[in-house]
Chains A and B, each alone.
Chain A
Amino acid sequence: MTAPTTATDVNQPSLEHAPPAGRRMSWPVLCLVIAGALALTSLVRLITGADGITNVSQMSTALQLAVPIGLAGLGGLWAERAGVVNIGLEGMMILGTWFGAWAGFQWGPWTGVLVGLIGGALGGLLHAIVTVTFNVNHIVSGVAINILALGATRYLAPLAFEGRSGGSAKQSPAVDSLGHFTVPGLSDGLSDLNDKGWFFVSDVAGLLGGLVTNVSWLTLIAVALVPATWWILWRTAFGLRLRSCGENPIAAESLGVNVYKYKYLAVIISGALAGLGGVFLSIVANPFYLEGQTSGRGYIGLAAMIFGNWMPGGLAIGAGLFGYTDSLNLRGGSANVHALLLLGALLLVIGAIWLAVRKKYVNAVITLVVGALVFAWYAGTNEVPNQVVSATPYVITLVVLALSAQRLRMPKADGMPYRKGQGK
């Protein structure tokens, strides 16, 4: 079966069959899976004694690191739902970090947020012009924008920051904090519960505690953007039109939808969201801009979007997962990552059993062997080299993509060149 490659192809009567049923996991099943994962993690914690894997501060950091990834992923989602692949998220994020810090240290953090958002949006506008008006291949354009954003910030940073107190050619002066909030009673209560170290309950308490302790206002905004995205895209006329541009732009055009306009809007919003993610990095996660700060989070955000099957809810879960692995890297990871080797081995064994049940024996055996190797690694060592920890987020991203890429359904006309009037 050959996939459509141009927007006109998408238009033919589709005689292909739908992807295997069950691509949408129902809520009860999803909750069960998450609960199961938590239980397993809790078990591992008890066995290994690595309390760091589910304590409140770990979860808090995980949430914090999930935000830029999630925002980048949301950016990717908005663009791809309108049919434009946005690899330039990383560059737009970089613009966000720079502009956010630049405005932030001079005029206050909230101004920084606004300006950072605009900076990202400008990157989005550029991508929109290049891909929608000039019909350049989306990925090529995204890569070009990443190169340009890197160059531009490298050029502007010394001009703006060198000579100011706390600033240098690669770093901006510090930006004031946006402010945090902590839910008083709940936070303490959950923290105590977490300290108790009880199976499962304490871990859940840790998870929830992380969500209500020392949370930045920007985090709250970011989290709110997830259901907001869902509501706008699936419950409003604007969202319907935008999504139609990503599913069948020729059909949309035939009904009077201005496809160019919606693609432009979607990509600009996409850039703004990525920029917001960057702002988060340079104002909340660190209080300054640092060259190389984004370290690939724009791409991880894309992976979260793919993991989430181009839906905001799934994306949030993916971002949470990646944020967690990122936080491991940040917070004295070695012992924790070592403990998680055990978790990984257990998951692989469970996976092998599940594959065997579904009669995929070859895959089951392979999974079992890998699981055994991971377990051997766990058992044979006491700690894990730092470099493994630093590579963990990326390895996990690859693994997640490899496992989930098959059962997905991306917007049908995603990435396809579109020209008005090309329909039959």
Chain B
Amino acid sequence: MKKFDKERVLLAVAGPVIALAVAFVLSAIVLIASGKNPVEPFALMFEQAGFSDIQVLIVNQASMYYIAALAVAIGFRMNLFNIGVDGQYQLAAMMAAVVGAHANLPAALQVPLLLLTAVFTGAFWSGIAGVLKVTRGVSEVVATIMLNAIATSLIVYMWKPDVFGVKVGNNNTTGEMHESGWIPGIDMGAAGEIYGLVILAVLLGIGYWIVLNRTRFGFDLRASGASESAAAASGVSPKRMVLTAMLLSGAIAGLAGLPILLGDTHTYSLNFPTGIGFLGIGIALLGRNSPVGIAFAALLWAWLDKASPELDFHGYDKEIAVIMQGLIVLSVVVSYEAVREWGLRRQQRRVGAELAAGHVLGANNTTKEVAGR
């Protein structure tokens, strides 16, 4: 049905475009209200994006955002809110760092070991929330948030020298990981190195799409997210699906910190980036839970992140980027919902019109539809 296809593309694009436009306008208003030039900060940030070293930074950061957002998106497709990606990825990175510092296998084994450690840690941490939800009916929103806080305490505990910590100056670290666990980057010359695990991010994105759209399990997952009752009647075990989705989400979340861990820092310290999981939520929302959309959203977020420090040198506050992110998220959720409802109504009208006009697939009788429903 060509007509519907074109419309669907239009609808898919309308949402984010409207959202971004609104967010830009609102941010400009904030800038004006603080007595600053509304256009210059954006111009500066656009300019930054032209520099190759900034571009490398953007790609690297985006890869981690991407993985975190995928993790959140899996939850969203199941109507689950895994707000705990933040705690999951940090805990997983720390565990991977600790294992990498103590185990010294050849690279072909070390790297998979580290990946698996991260995956299992992330899955375990989100699994706690999943089990609580499935057995006791505890809301996963509150549970994962509590687990985030507990993870923070756990990490501080593990940084103690008598546990896993190695103090380097004033910095808490986990000691340097053995080189067999280091993953080389892609050399971009003077611009820097792109993390090798960016490839992992891409693979995960492809895997996400394939599993969700081309496998039976993916169908079950999407059905459960759309209508739990219909999915149950169709043979899905709701509890098992909830738990599986939470575990899967946590497993992927665990990988989010690895690009920088295995490609750059080689230790988990106070300098390790925080808040990636939280941002992943906004990125998943903007990207509409689709692997391509999330990729664009992750790049956008990373751009805001990496281009904004420049603003401080020109008399602006780099925090405007944070406000922008908040505004984008809010505009996005509103515009998506508005566009979706409009799209549904429009389709219902068009179908009604088509049927009334007699365009029925394969039918040859002409008795009209009875009015109303």
The answer on direct contact between A and B (beta carbons under 8 Å) is yes
Using CB atoms and an 8 Å cutoff, list the residues of chain A in contact with chain B: 2, 5, 87, 126, 130, 134-137, 139-141, 143-145, 147-152, 154-155, 158-159, 295-296, 299, 302-303, 306, 385, 387-388, 390-391, 394-395, 397-398, 401-403, 405-406
Chain A residues with CB under 8 A of B150: 391, 394-395, 398
Chain B residues with CB under 8 A of A143: 81, 83, 281, 329
Chain A residues with CB under 8 A of B132: 398, 401-402
Chain A residues with CB under 8 A of B281: 143, 147
Which positions 329-371 of chain B face chain A at CB distance < 8 Å? 329-330, 332-334, 336-338, 341
B17 within 8 A of A: no
On whether the beta carbons of B137 and A134 are closer than 8 Å, the reply is no
B143 within 8 A of A: yes
Interface residue total, chain B, C-beta cutoff 8 A: 48
Chain B residues with CB under 8 A of A152: 323, 326
On whether the beta carbons of A147 and B326 are closer than 8 Å, the reply is yes
Chain A residues with CB under 8 A of B322: 150-151, 154-155
* Most chain A CB inside 10 Å of its own CB: which residue of B138, B147, B324: B138
Chain B residues with CB under 8 A of A296: 145-146, 149
Chain B residues with CB under 8 A of A402: 132, 136, 138
Chain B residues with CB under 8 A of A387: 153-154, 156-157
B171 to chain A, nearest CB (A): 18
Chain A residues with CB under 8 A of B143: 398, 401
B2 to chain A, nearest CB (A): 30
Main secondary structure of the interface of A (DSSP, over half): helix
Picked from B137, B142, B278, B333, the residue with its CB within 8 Å of the CB of A140 is: B333
Complexed CA–CA distance, A126 and B320 (Å): 20
Picked from A149, A155, A158, A406, the residue with its CB within 8 Å of the CB of B136 is: A406
**Chain A to chain B contacts (Cβ below 8 Å), 6 pairs:** A136-B334, A143-B329, A152-B323, A155-B322, A398-B138, A406-B137
A162 to chain B, nearest CB (A): 10
On whether the beta carbons of A391 and B153 are closer than 8 Å, the reply is yes
B71 to chain A, nearest CB (A): 15
List the B residue with the shortest CB-CB distance to A1.
B229
On whether the beta carbons of B334 and A405 are closer than 8 Å, the reply is no
Complexed CA–CA distance, A139 and B333 (Å): 11
Chain B residues with CB under 8 A of A2: 228-229, 232
On whether the beta carbons of B333 and A158 are closer than 8 Å, the reply is no
A301 to chain B, nearest CB (A): 10
On whether the beta carbons of A158 and B153 are closer than 8 Å, the reply is no
B285 within 8 A of A: yes
On whether the beta carbons of B229 and A5 are closer than 8 Å, the reply is yes
Picked from B34, B141, B330, the residue with its CB within 8 Å of the CB of A159 is: B34
